[in-house]
Amino acid sequence: MTTTLRPEGPETPTAAGGRTRRWRILANGHQVGALRTTSARHGNQLWGEISELEITEGRGRGRGTFGALAAEEVLRHWDCTRVDVVVPETARIARGLAATLGYTERMRNLGKTLTAPSALPAGLTAHPIGAAEFPAWIDRAAREYVHSLMDSGLTEEQARAKSSLDHRNVLQQGADTPGVALRRLHNGDGRATGEPLGSLWVNLHLRDLPDGTPLAWVMVIEVSPAHRGRGHGRALMLLAEQECLAAGVRELGLNVFARNEVALRLYTSLGYRIVNRCYGKPL
């Protein structure tokens, strides 16, 4: 039996400076599945993504493996330097296939439906990050993000390109960007005095879920090195939930890098559950 890949339609450009195309997976000319390849520009590099992969007939016959390898060949032809794939937590077979094909788990998407807000621990207060503080704060946040991306498997060039793109796209107006909450956590009675305990950046409406429900996203949660291990990460997450509920948003998500076991334990203890796992490998 011969398995082949055929275009379902033409290539179309993407807003991220790349292209996307959907393909049919055929066995002896009969469609048994489909996939989509997508590329995006990150600095001087193109990254690829297998953004859809479904086998509709004949599972267990290696057709998923064929589809993934064929998608990688397409992305190489598009001059992509790496490939990523996001796999739902419930798709156990797909997660096993990713591991078999040499993909490394880079991060996890977690989510939670919010109900009533919880108060911050006694003695802690939150303050907005203003225009004067913003440049130094965003520089430090970007450096930390680059280090985390490199720990997850990206090269330094890839990490710097992605960090620059992510921050530029979301914080286009700096501290005054609409729809975001930029906060610092302090000890005290309401006055921002002394070194901050940590900081928080929440995008209050990242996108709508398929049912139209707005989804917020934790972009940065950072505890100052001198204050770690004292529960301030938990306080910052409670603050993130307060900000979302105040904005009328009840679905909150975040990324956590796969090696960050401390953060994973914190988010699990707060009721967050794994939604997707993100895998990648160089091409």
Distance (Å, rounded) from C-alpha 283 to C-alpha 39?
13
Listed residues 68, 102, 136: the one ending a domain: 102
Tell whether the model's pLDDT for residue 1 goes beyond 70: no
Q: How confident is the model at residue 168 (pLDDT cuts 50, 70, 90)?
A: low
164 against 8, higher pLDDT: 8
Listed residues 67, 102, 137: the one ending a domain: 102
Residues 13 and 56 occupy one common structural domain: yes
In a domain, 261, yes or no: yes
Residues 248 and 125 occupy one common structural domain: yes
The two tokens of residue 276 are: 């997707």
Closest CA to 187 of 242, 273, 123: 123
Tell whether the model's pLDDT for residue 2 goes beyond 60: yes
The region that residue 177 occupies, defined by phi over 0 for left and psi between -120 and 50 for alpha, beta otherwise, is beta
CATH code of the domain in which 120 resides: 3.40.630.30
Closest CA to 268 of 276, 256, 259: 256
Amino acid residing at 146: V
The two tokens of residue 85 are: 């794939």
Residues 118 and 98 occupy one common structural domain: no
Any idea which of 40-49, 67-76, 186-195 has the lowest mean pLDDT?
Answer: 186-195
Q: What is the per-residue pLDDT across 82-91, written as a single tens digit (0 to 9) for each?
A: 999 999 999 9
**Overall average pLDDT of the 159-163 stretch:** 79
In a domain, 159, yes or no: yes
Nearby residues of 40 by Cβ (< 8 Å), 6 or more positions away = 14, 16, 17, 18, 46, 47, 49
Residues 135 and 15 occupy one common structural domain: no
224 against 22, higher pLDDT: 22
Q: What is the per-residue pLDDT across 231-271, written as a single tens digit (0 to 9) for each?
A: 999 999 999 999 999 999 999 999 998 889 999 999 999 99
Nearby residues of 171 by Cβ (< 8 Å), 6 or more positions away = 138, 177, 180
Bridge-based pairing of strands 80-88 and 45-55 is parallel
Tell whether the model's pLDDT for residue 192 goes beyond 80: no
> What average pLDDT is seen over the chain?
89
Nearby residues of 15 by Cβ (< 8 Å), 6 or more positions away = none
CA 246, 272, 49, 55: dihedral to nearest 10 degrees?
A: -120
**Overall average pLDDT of the 17-23 stretch:** 94
Residues 205 and 72 occupy one common structural domain: no
In a domain, 176, yes or no: yes
Give pLDDT, residue 70: 95
Closest CA to 74 of 15, 18, 29: 18
In a domain, 107, yes or no: no
Residues 19 and 126 occupy one common structural domain: no
In the block, tokens 């339609």 appear at 9
50 against 147, higher pLDDT: 50
Q: Is the four-CA dihedral 125, 217, 134, 158 of positive or negative sign?
A: positive
Listed residues 67, 83, 102: the one ending a domain: 102
Residues 228 and 264 occupy one common structural domain: yes
Number of domains in the chain: 2
Give pLDDT, residue 148: 80
Tell whether the model's pLDDT for residue 166 goes beyond 80: no
Give pLDDT, residue 115: 92
Tell whether the model's pLDDT for residue 276 goes beyond 70: yes
**Overall average pLDDT of the 155-172 stretch:** 77
Residues 88 and 171 occupy one common structural domain: no
Q: Which secondary structure element, helix H or strand E, spans residue 109, and what is its range? A: strand 104-113
149 against 169, higher pLDDT: 149
Residues 8 and 79 occupy one common structural domain: yes
Tell whether the model's pLDDT for residue 43 goes beyond 80: no
The answer to whether 95 and 277 have CB atoms below 8 angstroms apart is: yes
CA angle centred on 30, ends 27 and 31, rounded to 5°? 90
Give pLDDT, residue 193: 60
Residues 141 and 240 occupy one common structural domain: yes
Give pLDDT, residue 190: 54
**Overall average pLDDT of the 111-133 stretch:** 90
Residues 140 and 273 occupy one common structural domain: yes
Q: Which long-range contacts (CB under 8 A, 24 or more apart) does 159-164 make?
A: 160/43, 161/42, 161/43, 161/44, 161/45, 162/42, 164/43
Per-state percent for the chain, helix, strand, coil, to nearest 5 = 30, 40, 30
Longest Cα pair distance anywhere in the chain, in angstroms? Answer: 73
In a domain, 163, yes or no: yes
Tell whether the model's pLDDT for residue 279 goes beyond 60: yes
Highest mean pLDDT: which range of 1-5, 67-71, 175-179 = 67-71
Domain containing residue 263: 112-282
The answer to whether 144 and 138 have CB atoms below 8 angstroms apart is: no
Residues 23 and 41 occupy one common structural domain: yes
In a domain, 79, yes or no: yes
In a domain, 200, yes or no: yes
Q: How confident is the model at residue 201 (pLDDT cuts 50, 70, 90)?
A: very high
The answer to whether 253 and 218 have CB atoms below 8 angstroms apart is: yes
